Structure 1
Amino acid sequence: MDPLEDVLSLLDTRSHLSSSLVAGGRWAVHFEAPDGVKFNAVRRGSCRLDVEGAGEPVQLAEGDCYLLTQARAFTLSSDAEAVPVDAGQVFAAAENGVARTGEGEDVLLVGGRFSFGDRAHALLLDTLPPVIHIPAGSEEAGTLQWALGQIDQELRQRPMASTLVAQHLAVVMLVHVLRLYFARAPQALSGWPAGLADPVVATALTSMHTAPGHPWTVAELARTGAVSRSTLAARFKDTVGQGPLDYLTHWRIELASKRLRGGTDTLATIARAVGYGSESALSSAFRRVTGISPRAYRNEHRSARLSGQ
C-alpha cells in the first residue's frame, strides 16, 4: 500500500451524502461548522463560497468542486449582498432529496461530508489548507466530473443499493481531490504529503508503508531510492520534518494504536505485526510516542466505547 491509501484506510474514511441544493435568483445559505470534511460540487450554474477565517471568497463555476478540511462556518450565495438563511431550515424542508432556496433553479449543488477516525487531524487534515478548490477547467478535473456524474445519477434514479454506491463514489472523489492537490501544490504541503512530492523520499515512504514490520535501516531505505544514506536522511528531514526511522516509529505506533482501539489481539501479537520483537519493545516505543502504555491506551478507548463517547 502507498502512504495515502494507508492513511485513508487507517482513518476509517466514510462518506455521508446530503440532499442536493437547488437555488435561484438572489440567495444565500449559511452553514454552521461541519462535523468532518465538507464537500460540494456545482453541477449547474455558479455561486460564491465564503469560509470563515479563510480569506477571500471563492467563485465557483459549473463543474467546480471543493473540500472544507477544517471545522469552519461557511456561506454559499449568489452574491455578497444576499441575506443568508440558515441551512438547517433549508435542508429540513427538503423533498425527494432536494433542498431549495431563492427563486428558480439557476444553481444545483451536490454534496455531503467525510468522517474519519480520531487521528484524522494529526495524520492528514492538519497538513491541508482550510479550502481545497478544484476548478472544472483544470486538466485534471475529468475524473472528478465522471465521479460526480455517477453520484448524481445514482441519487436521481435510485437503482438498487444506490446510496451505498454513491457513498463509495464520493470516497473515490476524495482520493482524486487529494491526489490532484498533492500534485498541484507540493510547495504548500507539510509532513508525509510533502515527502510524496520528492521522488527519493516518496520511494522510502512507500517502502516503509509496504512493509512496516521490516527492520529498516536508513542505509537500506537509501538504496531503494538509489541515493546515499546522508542524502536520504537530509531530504527526508527537510520535507517530512523528521528522520526516516523516527517516521517509521510513529507509523508503527499508529498501526498498533488502531489494533488496540478496535481489536482483541494480545500485545505480543501486535508487537510482532508492526515490527517489534517483543511486547516490552512495543510498550517502550508506544510510551515514548504517546505518553501512555499500550494497555492504558486500550483501556481508555474501551471505556470510551462502553460509555458511548
Structure 2
Amino acid sequence: MDPLSQVLSLLKPQSYISSGFHAGGDWSVQFGSQHQLIKCYVVVAGSCWLAVDGLPEPLALEEGDSFVLPSGRPFRLASDLTLPSVSASEILPPARRGGEVRLNGGGDLFLVGSRFGVSGGHADMLLALLPPVVHLRKASEQAALRWSVERMMQELREGEPGGYLVAQHLAHMMLVQALRVHLAEGPGLGVGWFFALADKQLAKAINAIHADPARRWTLQELGEAAGMSRSTFALRFKETAGETPMDYLSRWRMLLACDRLENSGDPVSVIAPELGYESESAFSTAFKRVMGCSPRQYGRARKPAGSRTDAHVPLSPAQLLAG
C-alpha cells in the first residue's frame, strides 16, 4: 500500500453527512476549529471567498470550483471578507441529512458539501500531515469531486438500502482524488510531509519506509532509495518535510503502533519487534517520546474503532459546516 493510502486508511473516515448551502446578499460566516473533520465542497452556482486560518492569502471561489479542507483548520466563507463575520453555529439551523439551508434567502451562491469525521487518538497527528486546503479549478478535476458530493447527497437523502456504505466509499474517493491532484502539481511552497511526498525523489524514500517500517534504515540507504547522496538527502528531507528522515521513521512507526493498540488485541511484546525494536523497553521509550504517554496508557485510554456509536448520529448543517 502506498504512503498516502496508508495515512488515509489509518484515519478511518466516518460520520458522513452531505448538505447544500444557499446564500444571498452580503454575508460572512466564520467556521471554528474543525477538530478531526475533513470537508469537501463544490460551488454549484455563484462565487465567494474562502479564508483558511494560517494561510496568508484568501482564495476566490468561482462557479464549478471544488475545494477540500483536510487539516481541520478554522476557516471563513464570505461574499466580502471585509464584512464582520457571524458564527456558523448561530445562523445555520438544524436540517436532515442531504437537506439544504438558506442564508439571507439565498439566490447568489449555492454550495454543496460533505463532511466526515476521523477516529483514533492519533488522528490529529495524521491530519497534520495533510495540506490545509486543496483548490481544484480544472474542469477535469472538478467533475469527479462534484459527482461524488452530489451522489453522496442523493444517497443520504433517499435512504436506500446500502446507502451508508456507498457514502463511505464516496468519501474516501473524494479525498483521495483531491489529494492525488494536489500531489501531481508538485511540491510547491511549504514545509511538511505532504510537500515531501510531492517531491518525486523524497517520495521514493518515504515509500521505502512505508513498505518496510521495521527495517533498520540508515540515512545512506534512504538516500540511495531517493537517488541522492546521504548528506544531500538528509538536508533536503529536513528542509521539505520539517523533520529528519529518522524522526519521520520513528513517528510513522508510532502511528502504526497506535493503530495496533487501538484495534487489535496484540500486546506490546508482539508489536515492538514487528516495528523494528529489539526490546519492549526500547519501543516504550520511543513511543513515550513521540506520543507523550506509555503504550499501555495509550491502549487503556482508547476503545476499538468498532465500539464507536457516533457514526449514524444525525448532524445538522451547522455541524456539517462548523463542526
Q: Give TM-score, length-normalised by structure 1.
A: 0.79
Deviations 1:87-132 (A, max 9, x none): 5544325697122333464533211323223433433336633x44
Name the counterpart of 1:26.
Answer: 25
Q: Which residue identity is paired with 2:286?
A: A
Instruction: Give 1:155-174 correspondences, 5 Å limit.
Output: 155=156, 159-174=160-175
Deviation at 1:227, TM superposition (A): 3.6
Check conservation: 2:38, 2:116, Cα contact below 8 A: yes
Higher-Rg member (1/2): 1
Q: CA deviation at 1:282?
A: 1.4
* Counterpart residue number, 1:113: 115
- Secondary structure of 2:60's match? strand
AA of the residue aligned to 1:28: W
Matches within 5 A, 1:178-197: 178-184=179-185, 186-197=187-198
Cα-Cα RMSD: 3.5
Q: Quote the offset at 1:6 in angstroms.
A: 1.6
Q: Which has the higher contact order (CA 8 A, sep 6+)?
A: 2
1:91 aligned counterpart, secondary structure: coil
In the aligned structure 2, how far is the partner of 1:67 from the partner of 1:150? 17
Contact 1:41 1:65 (C-alpha < 8 Å) held by counterparts: yes
Q: Which residue of 1 aligns with 2:17?
A: 17
**1:252 shift after superposition:** 0.9
Task: Write out per-residue CA displacement over residues 271-297 of structure 1, whole angstroms, 9 at most, x where no aligned residue.
Answer: 122122332331232234344432233
CA offset digits 1:139-169 (Å, max 9, x no partner): 5434323433433553566543234323421
Return the offset for 1:204. 1.0
Q: Secondary structure at the match of 2:8?
A: helix
Change (3 A) 1:277 1:52: closer
**How many residues get paired?**
301
2:5 corresponds to: 5
- SS of 2:213's partner is coil
Corresponding position of 1:72: 74
Matches within 5 A, 1:130-141: 131-135=133-137, 137=138, 140-141=141-142
Q: What amino acid maps onto 1:115 in structure 2?
A: G
Please tell me whether the aligned partners of residues 18 and 152 of structure 2 are also in contact (alpha carbons under 8 angstroms). no
Matching residue of 1:255:
256
Asked if structure 1 preserves the Cα contact closer than 8 Å seen for 2:155 and 2:164, the reply is yes
In the alignment, the residues of structure 1 paired with residue 73 and residue 227 of structure 2 have an alpha-carbon distance, to the nearest angstrom, of 42
Report the equivalent of 2:226: 225
Q: Report whether the alignment pairs 1:154 with 2:163.
A: no
DSSP 3-state at the match of 2:188? helix
Q: Does 2:117 correspond to 1:128?
A: no
Superposition deviation, residue 253 in structure 1: 1.6
Q: Is the 2:52–2:73 Cα contact (8 Å) retained in structure 1?
A: no
Relative to 1, partners in 2 of residues 1:166 and 1:286: Cα closer, same or farther, differing over 3 Å? closer
Matches within 5 A, 1:279-294: 279-294=280-295
Between the aligned partners of 1:253 and 1:173, the Cα distance in structure 2 is: 27
Q: Which moved more, 1:78-87 or 1:291-300?
A: 78-87
**Relative to structure 2, which stretch is displaced further, 282-291 or 267-276?**
282-291
In the alignment, the residues of structure 1 paired with residue 59 and residue 238 of structure 2 have an alpha-carbon distance, to the nearest angstrom, of 34
Distance 1:49 1:220, change over 3 A: closer
Residue type of the alignment partner of 2:101: A
After superposition, the C-alpha distances for 1:48-75 in whole angstroms (9 at most, x for unaligned) are 4455675555332222122343442524
> 2:167 is matched by which residue type in structure 1?
A
Q: Supply the distance in 2 between the matched residues of 1:58 and 1:4 (Cα, whole angstroms).
A: 25
Other structure's SS at 1:186 match: coil
Structure 1: give runs of 5+ residues left out of the alignment: none
Structure 2 residue aligned with 1:92: 94
Is contact 1:46–1:62 with CA below 8 Å preserved after alignment? yes
Is the Cα–Cα contact under 8 Å of residues 20 and 113 in structure 2 kept in the other structure?
Answer: yes
| 1:262 Cα deviation from its structure 2 partner | 3.5
Moved more, 271-280 or 222-231: 222-231
Kept in 2: contact 1:147–1:173 (CA 8 A): yes
Write the distance in 1 (CA, Å) between the matches of 2:131 and 2:76.
Answer: 17
What SS does structure 2 have at the residue aligned with 1:42? strand
With structure 2 as the length reference, what TM-score do the two structures score?
A: 0.76
Q: Contact 2:18/2:97 (CA < 8 Å) preserved in 1?
A: no
